[in-house]
Structure 1
Amino acid sequence: MKIDDLECLLLSTYELLDSIDPSDFSLCLAVICHVADRRFSDVMIQQLLHDNVSKSRIFLYDNLLHTRDENYNPEFSMQDHILKAFYTSRTTETTLTKPQKEVFDNFQECRRLIVSAPTSFGKTRIIREIIRHNNYRNIALILPTVSLLSEQYRDIKDSISGYVVSKTSKIKIEPDRNYILVLTPERMSAFLSENPEFHFDFFVMDEIYKTDFKLNDDRFRVFSDVLLRLAQRGSDFYLIGPYITDFSQRFRALFNAKMLKFEVEIVQKDFYFLDNVGLKGSHKIEGRFIKIVGDKFVNLTRLTSNDYIDGKFLIYRYQKRYVEESAGKFSSARSEVRWDSNLIRYLEKTVSPEWKLVSCIKKGVAFHHGAMPRHIQDLIVDEFNNSSGGGIDFLFCTTSLTEGINTSAKNVVLYDEKIGTGDPIGVLDRRNIEGRAGRFMRHFVGRVFHLEAYIENNDDRVVEIESLDSENPSIEAIIQFDDELLSEAGHHKKNQLKSTMESVGLPFEMFKENKYVSVGGQASLLKYLITSKSWEQFSFMGGMPNAEVAKLILSCIYDHLFTESDRGRNFKDEVGKSILLQLTSYYLFYKPSFTELLSSATIIKFRPKIDSRIRYIFDLTSRYFEFIWPRYIMAFQNIYNYAAKINDASPISLELMIAQLEYGTTKNHEIILKDCGIPSESIRKISNIFSNCETLDDVQRVKKLRMRNIASLLDPIEVRIFNRYI
């Protein structure tokens, strides 16, 4: 574009910024970002660009322009300074964007706010402002993934004073101290159950669309349960998520909540549709042509091998095994880059030198999925975000990296138009993935490449809560809440269920206590325990059952409480059950390291290929040992002790068994370290140093005093992990 034309464009944009139409504002930001991305040296263009930035109230665009170009030096008028001061907090000296200030001002007015806005909007940045402008004693920040949790924890820890900031639910509450708990919904649920009298004055829930029962995944119930329990206690709240059009009207009415919706993209997106079936042929990208053929992988390599398509690449694939396979295939044709020898050595030692990730990293490629341990996920993202040269430039991922995690990817490639189940991708998932293209304060424009055709449907993206909105809520949902938090259908169903239970002598409150465990499964287990009367087979001395008793308990749980989803394709029959019980017993009583699990004859027989075996162990550990078994063992304990009381038998306690599976230890100080994200292999090396610690505060105090000793026992990557999480 000629300079004269560009001046006219920027002048027109300046005038259009007076419009109150949100679509006009979005158009103006698109012009600003695309002009800024081109780095024009003309003095007049720079001045006009600055004037537009100032009038748009996205003042941080100017900061990025200064960072990218030392010759960017427009004149600042008195009006510019006054405008910026209006959007800058006197308390925190933080400059907000125009939409961010609108959110902050609305929160200060209504105190219960739901915000839908695109990625890079800066929704989480407003959290700091809310906390520092209000006199809250206890605060909860609830985030869906451990990576997001760690990121938010560090941000709050560095910027907010006067609070005990904890990302573990195992915390000793002292009445004269103020707390900010940064937890996943599962950990928050555990905290609320263990501390029923504790009151939060304010809570935040990120990725709020995950409360929607229409997702029909394994987590929506715990998300909605935590949300409703906290909201019922009269707390202020700030609920945030991307690309939703509405949020449960019943929830908003019950809790007098206001909703704001924004469509404005602070980081612009350029879209390229490169369908390998219907759109073969030449496509112009950044002024040059690329030929699209029938092979998607060939198209991917053509995209990523062109220097004029600058920036790092995030490549979405819909399943874990495809993520790993594609990364391996992609890296095989690449030359080695400069890589972190400490990271490679750490992965070889703690996982395997044969792991595909090791060879991928050496080629500047990596993969990321939800089954991987949290510390490895974060190490990979750190390496990807490293801008000092070398490292990882191409990261293959599932949705594990598209749910709010900040990366330095300028380019996002949707290799598949599916989700993990194989179903077509919905609008919310697709837009969430697309939203990862470009990062605020690093890019003005991101690129999105679609390598398959997708159907543009009109999903309304309305978030609904099962107990409030569903016309046919599950029994597991309706028993959890009081009548005012149930839909009419739920209220009717709950009364019927209560009557049925009372008529056959089933304990309604006990079923309620075992949150979201199948009511039918609980009834089946209770009937079995009462009628079998083989109490002695479940009795044991000491705090932990022996291997024989533990296996009986696990078998009982599998038979009565496991759902089809819990069994999955790996453990769906008697052979699968036998393998799961054998591996669980081995993990429970022999406490093997990851490398010892990897060399287990049972697992080798079941998964002979090394990468498949590693992925299998990751999934086994994170899904079964740390999540499914602990939840069901606690339910078994409650049901068993109810039945035992009826039959005058002795109660049992399975707390140590649960802790050993969930944390890999029964020692309190090791549980705190594991809850923070420290891997078991590292904990074993430094456990004695923290043996007298009872709280996270104690752990942090000992860290300050003995960090040199701690560092001498850990390798460099373990030190990095330790400093990140503690």
Structure 2
Amino acid sequence: MEDIINYIETQELIDFENTFKIFKIISDLITTDESSSQKLLVNVLANLSKFDSSLNPILADLIEGIGFYPYISKENLELTSTDALIRNAYHSSSNIGKVLHEDQKYLLSLLNNTQNIIVSAPTSFGKSLLIEEIVATLKYKNIIIIQPTLALLDETRKKLLKYRENYKIIVRTTQTPSADKKNLFLLTAERVNEYRQFTNVDLIIIDEFYKLSAKRDDERADSLNNAFNYILKTFNPKFYLLGPNIDSISEGFAEKYNAIFYRTKSSLVDTKVIDMYKPQKDFFDKPIKYKEYKENVLFELLLSLQNEQSIIYCSSPARVRYLSLKFLEFLLKNQVNLNQYVEIDLIEWIEINISTEWSLIDLLNNQIGIHDGALQKHITNTIIEYFNENKLKFLFCTSTIIEGVNTSAKNIIYFDKTKGNNVEIDFFDYSNIKGRAGRLMIHYIGKIFNFNLVPEDEKVIVDIPFYEQNPISDEILINLEYNEVKDENLKQYSIILEIPENERNIIRDNGVLVFGQKNIFEEIRVNFKNVYPLISWTRYPNYEQLKYCLTLGWNYLMKKTESKSLGIGRLVNKTFGYGNHNSIKVLINNDIDYVIECINFYEDNKDKSKDEIEEIRKFNYGKKYSSKSNFEIEEEFILMNFQIQKHWFEYKIPKWLSVINSIQECICNEYGVRPGNYNYYSNQIENDFLRENLSLLSEFGIPSSALKKIEKLIPPDLNEEQVIDYIRNEKIYTNDIFINYEKKKFKEI
């Protein structure tokens, strides 16, 4: 096989006789070795201009025989037999106007019967295409689609906007279902658990369903299990679970829930593996001594691939920033000009709202993008759009590329071997990274360049904790009835049942650490008289009230595996400052100003003894940053504040405040005193201090800068859906108060 592929790649033209020989080999393999026939066919299509075109009718029949129907029209080939034409028409979808390949059509037939479907298929399979096909049939009245990230949900929303005449699209827990239309709920698992207005569910779709597993150390696995289990028990809907590279699931689950586990390795692209590691093992295994050597190997490789698109996997946001800037420095040093003459309208927004000096501007101007969990959602969405539109050639990213977006590239560079600081990439993660090489219907062949040893192959078995219960967390167990609990977990369950029922109901509904919440109940009760002034606030807390509540969350609502590197003191200061200034840019500038002040203090006092220095903390802080340039300082604090906004302000702190609010309300009612109400402040923090009827728009990837401008143009008495209609009908986005980037974002809603 490799010899034949090598022959194809090295020939300039392949004559009639050898074209026929290769086509015959494919024909023979179709019945004896399907995966090899697919691999060889894809390599033929990637080099189609080399082959004798007089044999194209045979090629069309081979494509049809393998079931890769979309490639027939892509290459403008014609089927000759009536039978083949009929089969091609059978694989065409009248709902979405596309041709499905054979495995997709088979899956669709399964989805149309009474059984539930659990699918394991490669990234390039086109699993998400079937989601649109299902929606387009209009067969189901109420559909829930759960995806792991808001970015994926927004991408799905954009694809399904064309069905808004038939479906009301619901993306926030504040929206009510339509009684007139069908309903399409695009939600994270956490939002499914928080949503109180489901009346019925006909179908639930879970993308990346491997996140149900308790054995992959995903902090959101509990929420996904509880959401799935609740919907199954309450509404008994049909379900469709999809994910990549999974070998099996919990034994007995499929039988209990009348499901088919369907695993296919069928792929419409081929991935070539290039080993960069073994030839340079002695250098790459010593990352401190030969750090620059390995980086230069990467940069030279990227330079050689500059006419194609490449995704570079990095372990963390800090690594993304570091490597992308080092690559830019490499290009400038070698006088390589990758400046492009295409519109990058995000740059103007950055200059106005973040900084004219932020390095992302120079990166984008040189066709380099970055993607990680620290960036604001609208920025990451836009960068992926630019990459998919071929405006960017290089994308430095973290594990968000595994599960956070739908994009691929001709080349994938597996550069770092960990997720975060010390979690090794396993074979499952590696397979998902590798799966991004090649793009369906664009690149027949992708390449993965391994700068590390490939992790050892291992079977991936997805356990489903609410069913298998080995292991099962307290947070899932509390949602089960006694008769659902397996004998080996009854002792664990009995301890949960010792919690008073009214408290247990609150703890269950909150969906986070069971005994962490129990400890908060106990701490408030023990000190109630003293802490009542600290918990009874409404609207905006003072500093001490906020400090007390966030400290409760910090001490009792964080899992052991979560990082506490930020520190509770800094978190409280940041949150309080954010509440006062309502601006992430102000927080960034305040940090920079304070560091410069500390550096100046250090310079003025560095010759004194420690006993003579009055503000030692300020002195040490200044010493820490004294060797850094203004550029490095600004980069660090932009990254840090974006991370705080994304992880803490938009996710953790609102959740903590919601949990603590429900607990203090319960205890205050017991004591017969007025409880506090944190809902207003929590919503303000989560939604960047937007007016309530505009917060839905932030889900659509519209920057808060644009939403704060539009406040003046939108009547305050309109509800969320009316606001969207008002913007569309009145074309509010044409107003000159918006820059081009903001106008473009409004047009996408």
Taking structure 1 as the reference length, what is the TM-score of the superposition?
0.89
SS at match of 2:423: coil
The superposition leaves residues 357-413 of structure 1 with CA deviations (integer Å, 9 ceiling, x where unpaired) of 1111122212110111111001111111223xxx31011111112226333511001
1:623-642: CA deviation from partner (whole Å, max 9, x where unpaired)? 11111111111111121122
Return the alpha-carbon distance in structure 2 between the equivalents of residues 590 and 596 of structure 1.
8
- 1:314–1:395: 8 Å Cα contact kept in structure 2? yes
CA contact (8 A) 2:374 2:639 kept: yes
Post-superposition shift, 1:533? 2.4
For the pair 1:316 / 2:326, whether they are aligned, the reply is no
Alignment equivalent of 1:527, drawn from 522, 527, 545 = 522
Once the 2 structures are TM-superposed, how far is the Cα of residue 470 of structure 1 from its aligned partner? 3.8
Over 3 Å counting, the alpha-carbon distance change for 1:566 and 1:366 in structure 2 is: same
How big is each residue's C-alpha offset from its partner over 1:568-616, in whole Å with a ceiling of 9 and x where there is no partner?
2121xxxxx2221111111123312435434335687779622221111
Give 3-state SS (helix, strand or coil) of 1:713's partner. coil
How far is 1:100 from its partner?
Answer: 0.4
Shift of 1:315: 0.6
Q: Partner of 1:141: helix, strand, or coil?
A: strand
Deviation at 1:123, TM superposition (A): 0.8
Matched, 1:655 2:659: no
Q: Deviations over 1:218-243 (max 9, x none)?
A: 21111222121222220111110000
Q: Which position in structure 1 is the counterpart of 2:212?
A: 211
Q: Confirm whether residue 154 of structure 1 aligns to residue 154 of structure 2.
A: no
Q: Which amino acid aligns with 1:362?
A: N
Question: TM-score, structure 2 length as denominator?
Answer: 0.86
What's the offset of the Cα at 1:153?
Answer: 0.9
Would the aligned equivalents of 1:53 and 1:59 in 2 still touch at CA under 8 Å? yes
> Does 2:64 align with 1:51?
no
Q: Provide, for residues 95-145 of structure 1, a one-character-per-residue CA deviation record: whole Å limited to 9, x for no partner.
A: 211000111111112341110000111111112222334621111111112
Could you say if the C-alpha distance between residues 33 and 723 of structure 1 is closer, same or farther in structure 2, counting changes exceeding 3 Å?
same
The one-letter code sitting in structure 2 at the alignment partner of 1:151 is E
Aligned-partner Cα distance in 2 for 1:592–1:93: 45
Give me the whole-angstrom Cα distance separating, in 2, the residues matched to 1:633 and 1:362: 41
8 Å CA contact 1:409–1:438 kept in 2: the answer is yes
Letter in 2 for 1:266: L
Partner of 2:703: 679
Task: Give the whole-Å Cα distance in 2 for the aligned partners of 1:275 and 1:61.
Answer: 35
CA root-mean-square deviation:
2.7
Separation in 2 of the partners of 1:271 and 1:620? 37
Q: Note closer, same or farther for the CA distance 1:661–1:85 as it changes in structure 2 (3 Å cut).
A: same
Deviation at 1:461, TM superposition (A): 0.8
% identity of equivalent residues: 22
Deviation for aligned residue 1:506 = 8.2
Q: Distance in 2 between matches of 1:369 and 1:293?
A: 22
1:160 shift after superposition: 6.5
Distance 1:404 1:116 in 2: 18
Q: 1:667 Cα shift? A: 2.9
Distance in structure 1 (CA, Å) of the matches to 2:214 and 2:174: 29
**What secondary structure sits across from 1:213 in the alignment?**
coil
SS of corresponding position for 2:118: strand
Q: Distance in 2 between matches of 1:451 and 1:556?
A: 44
1:118–1:265 Cα contact (<8 Å) kept: yes
Question: Could you tell me which residue of structure 1 aligns to residue 394 of structure 2?
Answer: 394
- Aligned with residue 29 of structure 2, among 9, 13, 16: 16
CA–CA distance in structure 2, aligned partners of residues 345 and 633 of structure 1: 36
| Match status 1:368 vs 2:378 | no
Q: Residue 311 of structure 2 contacts residue 397 of structure 2 at CA under 8 Å; is this kept in 1? A: yes
Residues 176 and 347 (structure 1), Cα distance of their counterparts in 2 relative to 1, 3 Å cut: same
Q: Which residue is 1:415 aligned to?
A: 415
Alignment of 1:721 onto 2:719? no
1:668 to 682, 692, 705: 692
Q: Whole-Å Cα distance in 2 between the matches of residues 567 and 305 of structure 1?
A: 36
Structure 1 411/595 Cα, relative in aligned 2: closer, same or farther at 3 Å?
Answer: farther
Mapped partners of 1:92, 1:681: distance in 2: 36
Distance change (3 Å), C-alpha of 1:484 and 1:317: farther
| 2:712 match: secondary structure | helix
Aligned positions, number: 688
Going from structure 1 to structure 2, the CA distance change for 1:14 and 1:294 (only over 3 Å counts) comes to farther
Of the structure 1 ranges 78-87 and 368-377, higher mean CA displacement relative to structure 2 is found in: 78-87
Taking a change above 3 Å as real, the CA distance of residues 405 and 96 of structure 1, as seen in their structure-2 partners, is same
Instruction: Determine if contact 2:373/2:646 at 8 Å carries over to the other structure.
Output: no
Q: Specify the SS of the correspondent of 1:409.
A: coil
| CA shift in 2, pair 1:471/1:539, >3 Å | closer
Matches within 5 A, 1:486-505: 486-499=485-498, 501=499
* Alignment partner of 1:64 is 2:74: yes
AA aligned to 1:173 is: P
Q: Structure 1 residues 559, 647: CA separation in 2 closer, same or farther (over 3 Å shift)?
A: same
Measure how far apart 1:352 and its partner are: 1.8
Q: Which runs of 5+ in 1 are unaligned?
A: 67-72, 282-291, 572-576
SS class of match (2:186): strand
| Residue identity matched to 1:98 | E
For 1:428 and 1:167, the matched residues in 2 are separated by 30
1:434 maps to what in 2? Answer: 434
Moved over 6 A (4+): 603-607
**C-alpha separation in 2, matches of 1:271 and 1:187:** 40
Checking the alignment, whether the CA contact within 8 Å between 1:139 and 1:200 is kept in structure 2 is yes
Match for 2:349: what amino acid? Y
1:257 to partner: Cα distance = 1.8
Match in the other structure for 1:245: 247
Amino acid in the other structure paired with 1:337: N
Residue 448 of structure 1: CA displacement? Answer: 0.9
User: Match of 1:260, as an amino acid?
Assistant: Y
Conservation of the 8 A alpha-carbon contact between 1:110 and 1:258: no
> What's 1:114 paired with?
118
For 2:84 and 2:249, the matched residues in 1 are separated by: 37
Is residue 534–residue 544 contact of structure 2 (8 Å, CA) maintained in 1?
no
Letter in 1 for 2:522: K
Aligned to 2:579: 588
Residue 310 of structure 2 contacts residue 409 of structure 2 at CA under 8 Å; is this kept in 1?
A: yes
The answer for the alignment partner of 1:70 in structure 2 is: none
Structure 2 gaps, min length 5: 1-6, 8-13, 284-289, 332-336, 599-620, 626-632
One-letter amino acid matched to 1:14? S
Distance 1:599 1:137, change over 3 A: same
Cα distance between partner residues in 2 of 1:267 and 1:488? 47
Amino acid at match of 1:394: F
Q: Distance in 1 between matches of 2:561 and 2:261?
A: 35
Alpha-carbon separation, structure 1, partners of 2:375 and 2:554: 25
Which residue pairs with 2:222 in the alignment? 221
CA distance in 2, matches of 1:386, 1:226: 35
| Counterpart-to-counterpart distance in 1, 2:735 and 2:248 | 50
Does residue 99 of structure 2 align to residue 103 of structure 1? no
* Paired residues of 2:247 and 2:461 also in contact (CA < 8 A): yes
Deviation of 1:702 after TM superposition, in Å, equals 0.5
Aligned to 2:406: 406
Which amino acid letter does the alignment assign opposite residue 725 of structure 2? Answer: R
Change (3 A) 1:699 1:16: same
Find the aligned partners of 1:514 and 1:602 in 2 and give their Cα distance. 38
Determine the structure 2 residue equivalent to 1:286. none
Shift of 1:275: 0.4
CA distance in 1, matches of 2:365, 2:252: 53
| Superposition map of 1:523-672 within 5 A | 523-534=518-529, 536-538=532-534, 543-566=539-562, 568-571=564-567, 577-600=568-591, 601=593, 609-665=633-689, 667-672=691-696
Amino acid at match of 2:378: H
**Cα separation, partners in 2 of 1:77 and 1:595, compared to 1, 3 Å:** farther
Question: Any conservation in 1 of the 2:214–2:472 contact (CA below 8 Å)?
Answer: no
Determine the C-alpha separation between the residues in 2 that align with 1:603 and 1:565: 30
| Alpha-carbon displacement from aligned partner over 1:685-709 (angstroms, at most 9, x marks no partner) | 1013333465443122101222245
Cα deviation for residue 276 of structure 1 reads: 5.5
CA shift, 1:91, in A, is: 4.9
Task: Give matches, 1:294-309, under 5 Å.
Answer: 295-306=293-304
- Match of 2:339? 337
Contact 1:36 1:49 in 2 (8 A): no
Partners of 1:128 and 1:624 lie apart in 2 by 33
Distance 1:417 1:180, change over 3 A: same
